[in-house]
Amino acid sequence: MAVVISAVVFLAACAVNNPLKDDSLQSGSSAKSDENGITDKPANEDINNKPDSNTEVNTDDNNNIAGSQSGESAGSENGHNSNQNTGKDLSDKGVTHSNGNGKIDEAPKKHITAGSNEVDVLTNRDSALEQQWEIVDNVAKAGQSYYNDYFSKTRIITKNGYLYNMASGDIIDTYYLVENGYLSSKYVNSQCELLLLLSEDVKKFNGVKLGGAQRGLTVFAVLKNPDDSTYLLAPSSGSGGVITQAQYNEILSKYNQKHGSVSRLYSDSGEYNRIVNFINMYEGKYDSYYVRNITVDSKYAMVILSPQSDIGAVKQYILKKSNGIWEVVYDGLEKEPRLAMAINKSIPDFNLSIIPDYSVYDYRNSINKYKNDVLILMSQMGIISGSADVEFAGSAGNYCYVVLKNQMKYLALNENERWTFTNVSSNYEAEKIMLESSVSAPLFIIWDR
């Protein structure tokens, strides 16, 4: 049975003759988390939090993202945006050119004949598919408009390649856009899908044309060609193009976030120690660490630790495994206020369920803030004689975890200005107690040992 000891915080008395020194005191505030345990920073608090490809005016083709509720393109003809051409291609206007010898050359023709159909050589669009192109154009515009509106308000991500609202758990499809006023109801059964992909990946496909300003995660609409096994693909601006079934499968496979089961590694495993060694080499300091947690699937690992030289310097990493070798692909995660969004933009195939429910960033100002107070109380209560008895002490918010050199472990919880001390048998028991208090409790204060 866990031994529980309580003590009233008497900070005025503790401040006098403080026998213990904390080298990482910070002032802070409590964290705020949503029901999913991942905190979203309000849009008005982070002016730099914007969608990748849509924070700039897209100068290519003079196409602007549609802001209308219907999501249909203004001034369109036959499903093509009337602003598709800037006038730089004068052949589209029937303009002729002098060859300098007084003769008039005919402008090059915009279309070439392909059987009974015409193919636009500028956009690679078959005129027989005007209705289908109208669908993908308008669905893409509506999807991009939704993404622009909600990216900073909630957690809109790419999940397995699809546009997804992580906070509500909804795949954003034509039904969703119609219900939320972004798209005309005539498109609700169009079978058009909405993808959220890195524009750099899509540009690699031959025959696909995107706006020059497009970069990062971009909304694409894709629709099966009724005549064959290809797919019509279009962004909100730029002409897009036609991709094959193999290319469609390839892009979805590239964004697949399922890489086997997610599990926690323990300190007695070889993989655990290999990962820590790779971080050590990456940092180049060859320090010893207090590891807090290592969670992995078959491709990625998330690690939270601090150097033994500075317990309060909590760091968070993502490593990728390739041919049995781990390498750091993302560091400094502890500085990200919207961690899931930042990871998804940088590593879109990362399984976000690996992310813990707590946010290191949310607790950044309270890490070790009350550690000295807790240790002073433990000294006054006779649990320790002084700091020489302590091997590890980490705190954040209203929690503090202490490991003594005799391997006795204590979890301190502050409720209503009263610290309660529980003698726990293991770090796992301490985690269980903290989670019973709050699903987003800062488990990173607990030494994984």
- Distance between CA atoms of 248 and 409, rounded to whole angstroms? 54
Give the Cα-Cα-Cα angle 5, 9, 13 (nearest 5 degrees).
120
**229, two tokens:** 């096994």
Stated pTM of the model: 0.75
The enclosing H or E element of 346 equals helix 339-346
Q: Is the pLDDT of residue 414 over 60?
A: yes
Confidence of residue 86 (pLDDT cuts 50, 70, 90): very low
pLDDT at 286: 80
Q: Does residue 121 register a pLDDT over 70?
A: no
276 vs 286: CA distance, rounded Å: 10
Taking the chain, what is the end-to-end CA distance rounded to the nearest angstrom? 20
Alpha-carbon gap, residue 366 to 284, rounded angstroms: 28
The structure tokens listed for 6 are 């309580």
Structure token digits, residue 112: 């070439």
pLDDT tens digits, 30-58: 333 443 333 444 434 343 456 765 433 33
Residue that wins the pLDDT comparison between 18 and 167:
167
Percentage helix, strand, coil for the chain under 3-state DSSP, each rounded to 5? 25, 25, 45
Q: What is the residue-averaged pLDDT of the chain?
A: 80
pLDDT at 3: 54
How does DSSP classify residue 7?
Answer: E
Higher pLDDT: 100 or 122? It is 122
Instruction: Give the H or E element holding residue 292.
Output: strand 289-296
Q: What are the residues whose beta carbons fall under 8 Å from the beta carbon of 385, sequence distance 6 or more?
A: 379
The model's pLDDT over 282-341, given as tens digits with 9 standing for 90+, comes to: 998 888 999 999 999 999 999 999 999 999 999 999 999 999 999 999 999 999 999 999
Asked whether 147 and 51 are in contact (CB, 8 A), the reply is yes
| 16 or 173, greater pLDDT | 173
List pLDDT tens digits, range 211-254.
766 789 999 999 999 999 999 999 988 789 999 999 999 999 99
| pLDDT score at 343 | 98
Q: Comparing 290 with 76, which gets the higher pLDDT? A: 290
Q: DSSP 3-state assignment of 133?
A: helix
Four-residue CA torsion sign, 172, 175, 179, 184: positive
**How would you classify the pairing of strands 315-322 and 300-307?**
antiparallel
Average pLDDT of the segment spanning 8-26: 41
For the four alpha carbons of 297, 276, 428 and 306, in that order, the dihedral sign comes to: negative
Cβ within 8 Å of residue 403, ≥6 positions away: 390, 391, 392, 393, 409, 447, 449
Write the DSSP assignment of 82-109 as a string of letters.
TTS--SS-GGGGT--EE-SSS-EEPPPP
Which tokens is 50 given? Answer: 């914007």
